[in-house]
Amino acid sequence: MRSVVIDAPGSVRVDTRPDPGLPGPDGAVIAVTATAICGSDLHIYEGHFPMAEPVAVGHEAIGTVVDVGPEVTSVKAGDRVMVSSVAGCGHCAGCATRDPIRCHTGPLIFGSGALGGAQSELLAVPGADFQLARIPEGLCDEEALLLTDNLATGWAAALRADIPAGGTVAVIGLGAVGLCAAQSALFLGAATVLGIDPVPQRRDRAAAMGATPAPPSATVAAMEHTGGRGVDVVIDAVGSDTTLADALTAVRAGGTVSVVGVHDLQPFPFPALAALVRSITLRMTTAPVQQTWPQLVPLLQSGRLSVAGIFTTEMPLDAAADAYRAVAARSGDVVKVLLTP
């Protein structure tokens, strides 16, 4: 099979690798029909995380089941399915909450070395009854693909932020996750969502979805829009030292900072005294992907939540190197790339 591999920072190629077999009696193999590049894939591409060997990358995939183990009961060969980007064993008390992060044996992420990369023609999926769900009627491929990670993450960021009805929210970083978070915040009751990003076209894209474009500093935007009080909630969809510090100063006393951006391996100099004195709530979240599906699927089916415009580009799998360069440029034209094997 063909699989996208990162050999070293900035080095992407499409490799030929052995077809995967069933990863156990509770596993499945799917033929990937659509996959995508996530902002967190750039941490590997840009060398923020060390690699001992080439890594088959990607953690977002939908496809068709081609084989299942004898213990699998929820899907069968021929079913169109979406794959949770985060995997749990599916059998423990933690997984019973439908949150793979709580898995007692430890969660795993596709495309990080422990599991196969989703940017491939085939993908082996352990714990298929837990990791897979049939794609419901009425959902397009783009919606299903966003449910595997980005929409679930943006939704979790907003849900965990305790947004007050009629409140003001600043979203830092208007990539796919940030745009999903902005949409989710509006749906969950925010009156105003300030879209924070250094790229004007991304701010315009957020504005088309109902957000208010704002200066690229969350602190400046928050103080301008609240008369110096600070916003009720900041959602940080970047997770760098700069954006975390910005979030903590932009939020009002007693407010909440909800972080879903992926930080690097270096420690962040957390301003603990200022956060304590100002009674700031800090929440950092990896999305409970499977837990979000019963909420998000009906909202997408009904049209009450829309993700139109988040995918900006479609390319074949063989053009993965060009696709990574386009995403890494962080331009206004390319926000989210769909790859088709």
Residues 180, 125: one domain?
Answer: no
Instruction: Name every residue whose Cβ is closer than 8 Å to that of residue 149 and which is 6 or more positions away in sequence.
Output: 38, 59, 60, 85, 287, 289
Residues 202, 322: one domain?
Answer: no
The half-sphere exposure of 333 on its side-chain side, counting CA atoms within 13 A, is: 5
CATH of residue 174: 3.40.50.720
Reported as type and span, the H/E element at residue 150 is helix 150-159
Residues 12, 137: one domain?
Answer: yes
Residues 192, 95: one domain?
Answer: no
pLDDT in tens, 2-48: 999 999 999 999 999 999 999 999 999 999 999 999 999 999 999 99
Mind giving me the DSSP string for 172-240? E--SHHHHHHHHHHHHTT-SEEEEE-S-HHHHHHHHHTT-EE--S-HHHHHHHHHTTS-EEEEEESS--
* Confidence grade of residue 114 (pLDDT, cut at 50, 70, 90): confident
pLDDT at 186: 97
pLDDT at 271: 97
Please give the share of the chain, as a percent, with pLDDT higher than 70.
Answer: 100
Look over the chain and give the mean of its residue pLDDT values, rounded to a whole number: 97
CATH of residue 43: 3.90.180.10
Question: What's the total number of domains in the chain?
Answer: 2
Residues 7, 142: one domain?
Answer: yes
Residues 6, 112: one domain?
Answer: yes
pLDDT at 40: 93
pLDDT at 43: 93
pLDDT at 52 over 80: no
Range of the domain at 295: 2-149+288-339
Q: End of a domain among 265, 284, 303?
A: 284
pLDDT at 221: 97
pLDDT at 115: 95
pLDDT at 50 over 90: no
Residues 273, 200: one domain?
Answer: yes
pLDDT in tens, 218-272: 999 999 999 999 999 999 999 999 999 999 999 999 999 999 999 999 999 999 9
pLDDT at 182 over 80: yes
d(CA 24, CA 236): 38
* Confidence grade of residue 53 (pLDDT, cut at 50, 70, 90): confident
For residue 147, the SS3 value is helix
Residues 314, 180: one domain?
Answer: no
Mind giving me the DSSP string for 87-106? E--SSSTTGGGT-GGG-TT-
d(CA 114, CA 102): 17
* Confidence grade of residue 152 (pLDDT, cut at 50, 70, 90): very high
